[in-house]
Structure 1
């Protein structure tokens, strides 16, 4: 999940995608209207180069996914730390001998600043940091926390799995199909779009078997 965050950041500045792909739907519409004057005018109205059309500087669906995933993972880390993380060592009472007090206070400061702690100074409250901290806890690595019980492990796994699913969906890592509302202009049959998992979208008519590929620039 921490590695998938870098892919989300890369996708954030790209053109937003929808399913079925908007580019393929527009391409099929253009084919349908290609030989009519009205169609040419309608295509011109949708031209991104026309005045008044400004592409979003960021992919809003990707941004929404990043915000939702980060909020969920940081909240999960907060709750897990509250339940599992050992409090920092206390400082020595002023009544202790100075040498023992200095030693105890030094150990207490080191314990509070332990980089393995969630909430330690310098630890950023981000999705990648939360994911890596949770992974260390789930894998039972040494740290200032108690071992997970079965219920706690299932709880963390459920929320982390949902966050991973959201990332994979946003990055189009799954195979997908969808039916277009527009019927085939040749036979009136239903058109099904196949794609996802990085594949170039393909539309196929269930009636006559005609197929259409998305143009290269619309496949993303």
Structure 2
């Protein structure tokens, strides 16, 4: 071997033994024709690591928020009960007879995707009960409030056909007398996801320049 000093001078150097690593053998073929692969070494499982800030965030409980109810507005609990009786037929003539008898023709749907419904049941309600509820809590709050619907063969009967929590979807009132003409309910069990229009009440509207201007 030769070592390089300058462009025109070469000197022989001592021979050195170079170690060449052995070539890894090719994995043998199994009888099925597939190559056998050796298992790879496994790494030890990682231990969970928490920083002090993360530990404090996990242990610390969220602060409680105090809420107050405005005077003169309906309270959310407990649920008011509306009694109903089943109705077999529908139409203008049937609805007119129901209103003449002091009842309000209504429908209750099964909730589907929050808007449309199926499994409808025709029912009739007491007109005085619906009128008192709408006048007491107001139409916007009536349509955003849950009720307990109790369907029985007759209003005075002890037999219960269906008892379910419902949400009013619409209520039609007479233009001149504000008498309830019909009500539509949708079933609202605890696992249901429904779209509800929440009425807003502003405090100090008479002294707020922004609210007075609109």
TM-score tier after normalising by the smaller chain length: under 0.3
Structure 1 or 2: more helix by fraction: 1
Please say which structure displays the higher CA radius of gyration.
2
Greater RCO between the two (CA within 8 Å, min separation 6)? 1
User: TM-score, structure 2 length as denominator?
Assistant: 0.19
Give the structure with the higher percent strand: 2
**TM-score, L = length of structure 1:** 0.19
